[in-house]
Amino acid sequence: MNKELKSRLQTAGLIPVVKIDEAGHAVPLAKALLQAGLDCIEITFRTDAAAEAIEAVRKSGLDVLILAGTVLDVERADRARKAGADVIVSPGYNASVVRWCLEQNMPVVPGIQSASELTAAVNAGLGFVKFFPAQAAGGIPMLKALSGPFPAMQFMPTGGISEDNFQDYLKLPQVICTG
């Protein structure tokens, strides 16, 4: 992932992760997020409306960084890219999705929760991953433990992140943003 994208995610700090059932709701939601000072959104592929919602936000002309979330396979990654997503995000480490994204020069943020998955990400040449599900996988103590042998890796903790704890995650030097 390039420095500009990382910088934008870091400036945002908090990335709203949304499930959109009707694509028509995507642009009004993106506008509301922008009015609230949030210029990034992760639209998850948990519904059939995801690709259409991404495309609607992209075509709206709004200056929003669009992350396509819950991308479980290459087919969804391709649909997200064609719809206009800026970044592919997955809940786990899927080597075929990572490989495809790298081949397409598409930024990818795979999910990890173990040293083995983190090693796979490092071996693929990645320097930024999603820590998911953050709270259930050990939260801040686990993230600190994983950072020990991987000091250059940067993280986006997601899952169990709330208004009560997201600031605690953002205080960690290895955390770029939270979802």
Is-contact 82 50, C-beta < 8 A?
no
pLDDT (0 to 100) of residue 2:
85
- The domains located in the chain, with CATH, are 3-170 (3.20.20.70)
Condensed to tens digits (0 to 9), the pLDDT of residues 21-76 reads 999 999 999 999 999 999 999 999 999 999 999 999 999 999 999 999 999 999 99
Average model confidence (pLDDT) across the chain:
96
Strand 17-18 and strand 40-44: the pairing is parallel
Q: What is the CA radius of gyration of the chain?
A: 15
Count of helix runs (H) and strand runs (E) in the chain: 8, 8
Which residues form the catalytic set? 42, 130
Q: In this model, does residue 17 exceed pLDDT 90?
A: yes
